[in-house]
């Protein structure tokens, strides 16, 4: 995130400023589509920078050497089995900002993750989802 922030502030921000200056040099700003587009891009960029700074401000670095696989916790990879249909799934429990279901990264704020946190291998947890309650067995806990 720090690298991305540095790139946005040192590369992207000056590029947009340059685009605004070039569009301003073309004359009448009231009917200048390039100027309007550059100003809009600047607003979006500043919003992105602000959001990234906020994430960095509240980020916590977790010492992975202090993590264990006795109980489910953040950063653990958890293999679970739906005891009704036998389907198995694996998820890595991450913060809300890192969640990406396509990559198997599940936010700790989801109903499944909340039900799994603090549980041990072999335990069965019941997760309430819109379709009803689904029992999951914790098959494996790893990094």
Domain(s) labelled CATH 3.10.50.30 in the chain stretch across 64-142
The per-residue pLDDT for 95 is 86
The string of pLDDT tens digits covering residues 78-108 is 999 999 899 999 999 998 888 998 999 999 9
C-alpha 92: how far from its chain's center? 12
Low-confidence ranges of the chain (pLDDT < 70): 28-30, 64
C-alpha 1: how far from its chain's center? 11
Residue ranges of alpha helices (H) inside the chain are: 2-7, 13-24, 33-58, 111-116
The per-residue pLDDT for 17 is 92
CATH class of 64-142: alpha beta
What CATH number was assigned to the domain covering residues 2-58?
1.10.287.180
Domain(s) labelled CATH 1.10.287.180 in the chain stretch across 2-58
The per-residue pLDDT for 66 is 72
Looking at every residue in the chain, the average pLDDT score rounds to 89
């Amino acid at each position: 995130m720090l690298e991305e922030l540095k790139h946005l502030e040192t590369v992207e921000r000056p590029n947009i400023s340059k685009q605004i200056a070039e569009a301003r040099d073309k004359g009448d700003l009231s009917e200048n589509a390039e100027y309007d587009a550059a100003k809009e891009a600047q607003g979006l960029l500043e919003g992105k920078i602000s959001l990234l700074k906020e994430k960095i401000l509240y980020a916590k670095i977790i010492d992975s050497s202090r993590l264990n696989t006795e109980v489910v916790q953040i950063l653990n990879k958890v293999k679970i089995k739906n005891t009704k249909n036998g389907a198995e799934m694996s998820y890595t429990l991450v913060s809300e900002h890192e969640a990406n279901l396509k990559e198997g990264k599940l936010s700790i704020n989801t109903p499944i993750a909340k039900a799994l946190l603090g549980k041990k291998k072999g335990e069965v947890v019941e997760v309430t989802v819109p379709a009803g309650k689904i029992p999951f067995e914790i098959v494996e806990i790893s990094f």
